[in-house]
Amino acid sequence: MRKALGLRPDFTAVAGKRLLIALSGGADSVALAVLLAERRETFGLTLFAGHVDHAIRPESAEDAEFCRRLCAKLDIPFRSVRIDVPAEAEAQHVGLETVARRRRLEWLEAQRIETQSDYIALAHHMDDQAETVLMHLGRGAGPEGLCGMREFSGRLYRPLLGFRKAELEETLRRRGCDWREDATNRIGDNPRNALRLHAIPELEKCYPQFVRAVARLARSEQIESDELHAQAQEYLRSNATCLPGCLGLELSSPPRRAILRRALRTLCPIPLSWDQVNDIEALCRQERGRLSLSAQWTAERTGSRLYYVRTPALLPEPEPLALNGTTRLRSVCGITARPCAPEPVRDDPLRQALNPEILRGAVLRTRREGDRIRPLGSGDRLLSDYFIDKKVDRPLRDHIALVAIGSRIHWVCGYGISQEAALKPGDRAVLLECTCEKHQYNGGTHHAE
């Protein structure tokens, strides 16, 4: 073991930042607070500490007082809250640990915002990492699960992943620092405690460097997973299109299997199980098919694309069409209208010169049951049949803008106009220009739509 007094985590990655330390009073978080306080001037750190009393143990109030005194000694502004986790867990019929973790992170994030901190500093160490990786392994996680915890995860910062718990405790003893012990950590009644108390000690009898080996595994998996993620992102940026409630992926030239599987999971707006990823991958190899993923989302294969489709579709309300100005249909398109010479437009499907008299009272909307169109040079027909003739993939049909009067369609934006709205000799004309709100993949923020 390296000399405890020489334990010096590298805080270069957060130099000059504001950190909110998640302080429980245990050895790990106390060591983190002490080490950060010792080097705050070196790295230009501004520190705060937050403590959550979960009201699970009778002595929890003493933990909060210990943390308050420690922060006063370290000159770190301190704040705390008491949350009745047992009562909430009983009311919600959820486990204590689940409620405690969720409420703790919620409160810490609120304090991070209030203190204008850049990150919440967590004291997870190498032993925690080994436990996490083994828990993921026990649940059958793939490469991403074997990555374990990362130094940075969003606004969470874990600078102690390279150190054993024993090193942190020895560091505190050498400095004469006390800490609080949580007796529940010595009860093997949950997977993490069982691994810590029983499985890992037995494994270390066979492999004395087992914990460090698992930490190396996690770091190796992070490096390889990051590379795979980068390749999947590049594929998505070139091949994915994102509309609210309809996410499409071009499959005419699919990538290698590992990249495709990562892309399928990344694009999907809901978490996917191992079996669902396998089923969607199989769907990609079919010409057509549908697969229910949840109560609201379906995967559909059609044409050369795979779609994630929200059901029912989130359709915008119709908007009256301005014949001089701009009309916007939420999340679909905008149409700008202005008078023009009475000459048909033949080279741009998103621009059309039409008869304004026919369009008076028209609205801009998406499709409805019973819509009909009389295309140029053809007879009257259902809009659904028109889409089939135009080879429009079914999932996209709800996202195509229509200029309509009642159930009569006069312009299917990007595809064609009606015979009635076409210019005839002596007609005045209005030029309609459509700008579609069709977005390429943007790194995942489409999930919030």
**236 in a domain, yes or no?**
no
- Nearest Cα to 52, choosing from 17, 18, 88? 88
- Nearest Cα to 357, choosing from 309, 275, 429, 447? 429
pTM of the entire predicted model: 0.80
Alpha-carbon span 103 to 54, nearest angstrom: 9
Whether residue 135 contacts residue 191, with contact meaning beta carbons closer than 8 Å, is answered with yes
Condensed to tens digits (0 to 9), the pLDDT of residues 304-337 reads 999 999 988 888 999 999 999 999 998 889 999 9
Q: Which residues contact 138 (CB under 8 A, 6 or more apart)?
A: 191
Indicate if 289 and 412 belong to the same structural domain. Answer: no
Alpha-carbon span 63 to 23, nearest angstrom: 10
CATH code at 37?
3.40.50.620
According to the model, what pLDDT value does residue 6 have? 59
Indicate if 369 and 409 belong to the same structural domain. Answer: yes
Three-point CA angle 274, 275, 277, nearest 5°: 65
Indicate if 324 and 375 belong to the same structural domain. Answer: yes
Alpha-carbon span 54 to 82, nearest angstrom: 6
Whether residue 298 contacts residue 292, with contact meaning beta carbons closer than 8 Å, is answered with yes
Which residues sit opposite 46 in a β-bridge? 18
**78 in a domain, yes or no?**
yes
Q: At 196, phi and psi to the nearest 5?
A: -65, -40
**443 in a domain, yes or no?**
no
**446 in a domain, yes or no?**
no
Which residues sit opposite 152 in a β-bridge? 157
Indicate if 325 and 293 belong to the same structural domain. Answer: no
Helix residue ranges per DSSP H, 115-270: 126-138, 143-146, 165-175, 191-194, 200-206, 210-239, 257-267
Indicate if 15 and 106 belong to the same structural domain. Answer: yes
| Dihedral angle over CA of 406, 410, 413, 414, nearest 10 | 150
Whether residue 431 contacts residue 338, with contact meaning beta carbons closer than 8 Å, is answered with yes
DSSP notation for 298-357: EEEEETTEEEEEESS--PPPPEEPPSSEEEEETTTEEEEEEEE-S----S-TTEEEE-HH
**291 in a domain, yes or no?**
yes
Last residue of a domain, one of 256, 290, 310: 310
Which tokens sit at 269? 């707006």
**228 in a domain, yes or no?**
no
Indicate if 305 and 366 belong to the same structural domain. Answer: no
Residue with tokens 């229509």: 402
Indicate if 359 and 305 belong to the same structural domain. Answer: no
Indicate if 332 and 280 belong to the same structural domain. Answer: no
Indicate if 363 and 396 belong to the same structural domain. Answer: yes
Alpha-carbon span 385 to 436, nearest angstrom: 23
**232 in a domain, yes or no?**
no
Condensed to tens digits (0 to 9), the pLDDT of residues 22-56 reads 999 999 999 999 999 999 999 999 999 999 999 98
**287 in a domain, yes or no?**
yes
With a cut of 50, which residues of the chain have pLDDT below it?
A: 1-5, 447-449
Domain that holds residue 270: 244-310
Q: How many domains does the chain have?
A: 3
